[in-house]
A and B are shown apart, each in its own frame.
Chain A
Amino acid sequence: MKHEETIISGFGGQGALFAGQLLAYSGMAEAMHVTWIPSYGPEMRGGTANCTVIVSDEEIGAPIIRYPTCAVVLNLPSMQKYEPLVKPGGVLIVNESLVDIQSARDDIRVITLPASDIATALGNPRMANLVALGALAQATGLVALETVAAQLEAHLSERQRKWLEPNKAALQKGAELAR
């Protein structure tokens, strides 16, 4: 049975919410149940943004959880908050470009990768979310990489269209590093 409860977290503007939506779309495309809940607040900028995505073969009960089975942390505050909460046996994806501390956990799988640097090399640091999502898909096997790529194609906004191929490359690169 597939069932993952994932928290994706970063600074506002790092695309944590969009990466979460892509994961939810991908789960749906693979005929699973999905929920996506963002942290939400007043419009004023700054601070962190995170979302909780549950993808499951079963109907989803609690959409909000305390201990995720996976966490994707794109910046330091997110690392400090969620690293201790990942369930034993779970997966933690760390963007080491912006997180200069290391996880001390030996009961979870920690994948550390320079997501922002990779994204910058591919043309835009804002694609770090996709690098991390590629790593997550690969590490958990929750959804196929091709599914994510197809959903990206379907849901990238008109304005971002020119970034489709680099985004796909970012996904791919993240997956490779998680192998």
Chain B
Amino acid sequence: MAKELLKGNVAFAEAALRNGLEAYFGYPITPQSEALEHLSGRMIEEGRVFLQAESEVAAINMVYGAASSGVRTMTSTSGPGLALMAEGLSYIAGSEVPAVVVNIMRGGPGLGNIQPSQADYFFMTKTAGHGDFHPIVLAPSSVQEIIDMVGLAFDLADKYRTLVLIAGDGSIGQMMESAELPPMQPLRPEPDRPDWAIVGAEGRAPNLITSLYLGAQNLEAVNLRLQAKLQEIRENEVRYQEYEVEDAELLLVAYGTVGRICTTVVREARKAGKKVGLLRPQTLWPFPDARLAELGARVRGVLVAEMSAGQMLEDVERAIARQAPVRFHGRMGGVVPMVDEILADLDKLDEETR
């Protein structure tokens, strides 16, 4: 398939459709609405399910229902909508059905604004709902990567019967870039739905999708099983990209849009003779703890850059475990950090650790 100039929001929506998305439910919210708008035409064209819900509360519960039937389903939203979905996210996690949710982050808290942000990191990786669970959280930094990650998200969701979130930001959603879409995959035929799905009990014992376990012992057993699954995910699904880290003395850690901005920072810093490298997490949960621990032992200092007050920072600090000083460059409220600001903080770190 040839490269096209694609807007992030349209690209991930079309990629989902081509990866066998059978049902989409959503509610408009900027800066994500182009995804919903694209699917409002395309899903109908393909004879699939598209429904604009009356709210995000409804949208995520529609997803919960469709997911319980074992079809590929998703919704997409931005911070205020994700907040409303918290209840549904927890139910999906608790009843272990596969679902994909794309969050194109915008400035908060509250109504905030619609400019790019990364301030939903804690929410997505740690507190997406009540109870003990983590969704897998993927963090794309380009239009191509959000396309690829949608496919990965469905595969991981199916493989682990888990919730997968894609952590985009307003910049990735609104940006156009040359990228290649995957070929069209057929839908999963109904007889091939997973054996746990609720599709009618004809010829077998009834299935049950629930997150209710009244006995404490029972619920603890379920939690232990969930935790074992999360552990397996921690062991197998960590993803990150490295950029010039081999001989790096200073390490940048950034994801998403800030991650790609930092590739320019590395180039500029190298031009100025500084040995700088970048680790860009592609999974925010599970987090690349082990690799960061290794690098922390090797570098003089670490600089974390984010569009937040320092959320991923806490995970980096935990992973580096005081082996090297960890400093932070953060912008909030929809302000995107610029290359020169990050370079200036790198200079400070360089001096401080010389």
Direct interface between A and B, CB < 8 A: yes
Chain A residues with CB under 8 Å of chain B are 21, 24-25, 28, 33-38, 40-42, 59-66
- Once A63-B175, A63-B260 are accepted as A-B contacts, the answer to whether A36 and B31 lie under 8 Å apart by CB is no
CB pair B5–A40 under 8 Å, yes or no, is no
Residue ID in chain A nearest B8 by CB atoms: A37
Closest 10 CB pairs of A and B: A61-B264, A61-B263, A36-B176, A62-B261, A62-B264, A66-B338, A37-B175, A28-B178, A64-B336, A35-B177
Chain B residues, CB < 8 A from A66: 338-340
Q: Beyond A35-B175, A37-B174, A63-B175, is A25–B5 a contact (Cβ under 8 Å)?
A: yes
The answer, among B5, B114, B263, for a CB contact under 8 Å with A41, is: B114
CB of B176 within 8 A of CB of A21, answer: yes
* Chain A neighbourhood of B339, CB < 8 A: 61-62, 65-66
Chain B residues within an 8 Å CB radius of A25: 5
> Which partner residue on chain B sits nearest A28 by CB separation?
B178
Q: Are A40 and B114 in contact (CB under 8 A)?
A: yes
- Find out whether the CB atom of A35 lies under 8 angstroms from the CB atom of B176: yes
Residues of B within 8 A of A21 (CB): 5, 176
Which residues of B line the A interface, CB within 8 A? 3, 5, 30-31, 114, 170-171, 174-178, 257, 260-265, 267, 336, 338-340
Kindly state the separation between the CA atoms of A156 and B90 in the bound complex, as whole angstroms.
46
| A62 CA / B261 CA spacing, docked (Å) | 4
A25 to B176, CA, bound (A): 10
Residues of B within 8 A of A28 (CB): 3, 5, 178
Residues of B within 8 A of A63 (CB): 171, 175, 177, 257, 260-261
Task: Return chain B residues, CB-CB under 8 Å to A59.
Answer: 263
Cα separation A62 to B264 with both chains bound (whole Å): 6
Q: Smallest distance from the beta carbon of B176 to chain A beta carbons, Å?
A: 4
Nearest to B339 among chain A residues (CB) is A62
CB-defined contacts of B177 to chain A, threshold 8 Å:
34-36, 60, 63
Given A61-B264, A62-B339, A40–B178 Cβ distance below 8 Å? no
B260 touches A62 (CB 8 A): yes
Q: Assess whether A65 is in contact with B338, with CB atoms less than 8 Å apart.
A: yes
Say whether B178 contacts A42, CB under 8 Å. Answer: no
Q: State whether A33 and B178 are in contact (beta carbons under 8 Å apart), knowing that A61-B267, A62-B261, A66-B340 are contacts in the complex.
A: yes
- Whether the pair B114, A24 counts as a contact (CB closer than 8 A) is no
A34 & B5 in contact (Cβ 8 Å cutoff): yes
**Please, how many angstroms separate the alpha-carbon atoms of A28 and B174 in the complex?**
18
Q: With contacts A24-B5, A65-B338 known, is A40 near B263, CB below 8 A?
A: no
Q: Given A24-B5, A25-B5, A64 and B264 touching (CB < 8 A)?
A: no
Nearest Cβ on chain B to A3's Cβ, whole angstroms: 11
B174 partner, pick from A34, A38, A62, beta carbons under 8 A: A38
CA distance A65 to B171 in the complex (A): 12
Bound Cα distance A61, B305 (Å): 15
Can you list 16 A-B contacts (CB < 8 A)? Answer: A24-B5, A28-B3, A34-B177, A35-B177, A36-B177, A37-B171, A42-B30, A61-B262, A61-B263, A62-B260, A62-B261, A62-B264, A63-B257, A63-B260, A64-B336, A66-B340
For the complex, give the distance between the alpha carbons of A99 and B336 in Å: 29
B89 → chain A closest CB, angstroms: 27
User: In the complex, A61 Cα to B243 Cα: how many Å?
Assistant: 12
In the bound assembly, the distance between CA atoms of A149 and B123 in angstroms comes to 47
Give chain B nearest CB distance to A148 CB in angstroms: 14
**Measured between alpha carbons, how far is A41 from B31 in the docked complex, in Å?**
9
CB distance from A6 to the nearest CB of B (A): 14
Q: How far is the CB of B265 from the nearest CB of chain A, in Å?
A: 8
B-chain residues with CB within 8 Å of residue A42 when the two chains form the complex: 30, 114
Looking at the assembled complex, report how far the CB atom of A61 sits from the nearest CB atom of chain B, in whole angstroms.
Answer: 3
Q: Please, how many angstroms separate the alpha-carbon atoms of A60 and B175 in the complex?
A: 13
Residues of A within 8 A of B174 (CB): 37-38, 40
Chain A proximity of B279: nearest CB distance (Å): 15
Given contacts A36-B5, A40-B114, contact A61 B261 (CB under 8 A): yes
A179 to chain B, nearest CB (A): 29
CB-based contact A64/B338 at 8 Å: yes
Given known A24-B176, A28-B5, A66-B338, contact A40–B267 (CB-CB < 8 A): no
**Closest A residue, CB atoms, query B174:** A40
How far apart sit A96 and B129, CA to CA, in the bound complex (Å)?
Answer: 56
Given contact pairs A24-B176, A35-B177, A65-B338, a sample of 13 additional A-B residue pairs in the complex whose CB atoms are under 8 Å apart = A21-B176, A28-B3, A37-B171, A37-B174, A40-B31, A61-B264, A61-B267, A62-B263, A62-B264, A63-B177, A63-B257, A63-B260, A64-B171
- Name the distance in Å between B9's Cβ and chain A's nearest Cβ: 11
Q: Return chain B residues, CB-CB under 8 Å to A38.
A: 174
Complex Cα gap A4–B264 (Å): 14
A33 nearest in chain B by CB position: B178
Kindly state the separation between the CA atoms of A35 and B175 in the bound complex, as whole angstroms.
7
CB atoms of A40 and B30 under 8 A apart:
yes
Q: Nearest Cβ distance between residue A152 and chain B, in whole angstroms?
A: 14
Partner of A61, one of B114, B175, B178, B260: B260
